[in-house]
Every structure is written in structure tokens, then in C-alpha cells.
Amino acid sequence: MAGSTVIQRAQHPVFFLEVKPAAYLEGDATPGMADDQMHVRFFILRNLVEISVLHAISALGIRLCLYTYTASTSDLEPAAIARLPTRMNDYAPVECWL
């Protein structure tokens, strides 16, 4: 099962969840793609946030990565790991998902 859910109050996001199958943990690139998707989702929702902190969860099978966006500072944790243009680095290690 894969999908996403955004919980809203008065048409403003208060929480969201992205779910991917456990197979996403097996590929080297797929945790990174899931993390990219979370960062894009926060970017899309950021101007709609009316609460001080927006929480979200990325689920890969039964493993979870928790995200927190602070509206006043635009800080997002965990921060994205920069890709290296000349090296194939693991920019979203599976260890991020507990």
C-alpha cells in the first residue's frame, strides 16, 4: 500500500503522512526518493501552514521517519543531505527510518 494523507483544519494542514511499501527499504535510491518527496510536500504546504509546527511521518513499511517544520523559521528537520555532484553518496540513509 502506498499513498499520502494530509490532515487539515479549516483547510490548513496540521499533519501529513506518506506511506510506501517495505520494498522501498531494499533499494539504495528509494529512501532518498521518499525523503525528496517529503521535502517537496513541505515546500508545497509551507504557505498554507497556520500552526507553529507542522509534523509529518514518512513510513517505509513498518519503519518511520519523523519530520518537523517550524513555520516561524522555515526550518525542516531532518535536514536534507546534500547530494554530491561527483560522487554517488547515500543522501537519505535507511537508518533515518526507525
Residue spans per domain, the chain: 3-77
Question: Residue 90 — very low, low, confident or very high, per pLDDT cuts 50/70/90?
Answer: low
**How does the average pLDDT of the chain come out, rounded?**
85
The Cα 23–Cα 67 span in angstroms is 21
**pLDDT number for residue 88:** 62
Q: How confident is the model over 47-79, as pLDDT tens digits? A: 999 999 999 999 988 989 999 999 999 999 998
Sheet strands side by side (includes 53-60): 3-9, 12-20, 53-60, 63-70, 75-77
Residue 80 above 90 pLDDT?
no
Sign for the CA dihedral angle at 97, 91, 31, 70 comes to positive
Question: Residue 31 above 90 pLDDT?
Answer: no
